[in-house]
Amino acid sequence: MIRAVIIDDNVEIRKQERSYIDRYFPGIEVVGEADGVKSGSALIKTERPQLVFLDIELTDGTGFQLLQTVKPYDFALIFVTGFNDFAIQAIKFSALDYLLKPINEFEFKQAVEQALDSLEKQKTNQQIKNFFEHYEHQTQSKKIVLKTSQEIHLVDIAEISHCKSDSSYTSFFLISGQRIVVSVPLKSYEELLADFQFFRPHQSYIVNLNQVSKIDKSDGGFLILKDGTEIPISQRRKSSLLQILDRL
């Protein structure tokens, strides 16, 4: 039986989460609830849960402040928030699971399944460390967490050559030649990587512009990367791409 705690300042949200757990996850037992930093921290230290549902805004502080009091992180974590802001961007970079209020039943089920998968891989410490590096300093993160079906990779963003869409999956191609496939669509990474000189020249590709060697204008146009990879350029994205390359 997996032990879980729910830390949220909204009692109705806590009831909702309990009902979804009872409905879909008979192997999870909710062993306690709390509504603040102090009470939540005490609950985690006492109950030693394997899964934590953590609201970002609590009665006496934030979920981030709570996390600083319960190191090391030997539990899977799901953030719950009513705000889609900078914190969400940091959470995405770290591949941590999160839910936006109001909670959608399907998204709840999906988030728990993903969190349980992370628990098996025992990489929560690495993910939360990457989160704080991005969130606390409010600067551009240098790393991104990529979760495959078997492993969790912490990758330097500058080491990504390009990404390619494969239906609902995305393949990350690294400068080293390594390929990492994640079960997240390409669109999810377009905005996330935009601040790091990545561009989507074609519906199936996102490219690290620092890895572009030249542009071949034949057959509609191709980006030639430093490793020789050819990336097609769609006609409607060509003008924007050329403007960005001129500013590099």
Question: Could you tell me the domains of the chain?
Answer: 2-135 (3.40.50.2300), 159-247 (2.40.50.1020)
Closest to 182 (Cα-Cα) out of 149, 145, 208: 149
pLDDT tens across 41-66, in order? 999 999 999 999 999 889 998 888 89
Q: Supply the pTM of this predicted model.
A: 0.63
Query: Cβ-count burial of 208 within 10 angstroms (0-12 exposed, 13-18 middle, 19+ buried)?
Result: buried
Cα separations (Å) of 57 from 87, 124, 162, 225?
11, 21, 36, 44
Strands of the sheet containing 230-232, edge to edge, are 212-216, 222-225, 230-232
Greater model confidence, 122 or 214: 214
- 139 confidence band (pLDDT: 50, 70, 90): very low
Please give the pLDDT value at position 137: 57
Strand partners, 202: 205
Please say if the pLDDT value at position 186 is more than 90.
Answer: yes
The SS3 call for residue 178 is coil
